[in-house]
A and B are shown apart, each in its own frame.
Chain A
Amino acid sequence: EVQLVESGGGLVQPGGSLRLSCAASGFTFTTYWMSWVRQVPGKGLEWVANINKDGSEKFYVDSVKGRFTISRDNAKNALYLQMNTLRAEDTAVYSCARAPGGGIRFDPWGQGTLVTVSS
């Protein structure tokens, strides 16, 4: 069974940092693009970042460029999102998703981890 389990969320002050992790299992991790998508509770979906199979290509939404870094460790079947200089508007549930072929096709999604940026 394909599983994606996020961790690392929590409460952080504005300007702070947080590193999210996504543990993947049940599929050959190295053969898939991976993504992060976020959702403010009660609001819509926002794509955050994509990374290709070997980590050599990365794409970000404009609002996080220069502050967030997506990465992966194929030996550990793990996806990461390093988030720096966090702002209140980054508060959301962050989910990782498998992205066959890259792009906007996400299947499946993890359950997400809540990041709250507040003083």
Chain B
Amino acid sequence: QSVLTQPPSVSAAPGQKVTISCSGSSSNIGNNYVSWYQQLPGTAPKLLIYDNNWRPSGIPDRFSGSKSGTSATLGITGLQTGDEADYYCGSWDSSLSAGVFGGGTKLTVL
């Protein structure tokens, strides 16, 4: 059981928009930054969003992050088949003094 809760899967058509939710608590998302990662099949995870809503250089603005209370959301617009991947949210948990991840969400672009 992951500390952060994500839907196991989401799907949408090419060109459409999708959102992936990440739910936590006051000890993690509520009082700490959230990061989002994309893991394409057979590759290492890649940082998409950090500090709730900042994109590293090279990440297209089709990817966005937001946070409200103890939940965070990753948004992806203009879906491409190349976006099919597993997406993970992560945060620091101040009560555990540990990093925590969501269980991951598999995105299918139909």
Contact = CB atoms under 8 A, between A and B. Distances in A.
A50 B90 CA distance: 14
Given A62-B96, A105-B51, A111-B44, A45 B33 contact: no
B33 A103 contact: yes
B47 A44 contact: no
B2 A105 contact: no
Nearest to B89: A104
Nearest to A60: B98
Contact of B100 (A35, A47, A106, A111): A47
Interface in A47-88: 47, 50, 59-62
Name the interface size band of chain A.
20 to 34
Contacts of A45: 37, 39, 45, 88, 90, 101, 104
A109 interface: yes
B47 A47 contact: no
Interface residues of B, number: 27
B100 A107 contact: no
A44 B88 contact: yes
Interface string B20-41: 0000000000001111010100
Contact of A109 (B45, B51, B101, B104): B45
A44 B44 contact: no
A107 B99 contact: no
Contact of B33 (A35, A95, A104): A104
In order of increasing CB-CB distance, the 3 nearest A-B pairs are A47-B99, A107-B47, A104-B90
Interface of A: 35, 37, 44-47, 50, 59-62, 95, 103-112
Given A105-B33, A107-B56, 5 more contacts: A37-B99, A60-B98, A103-B35, A104-B35, A108-B46
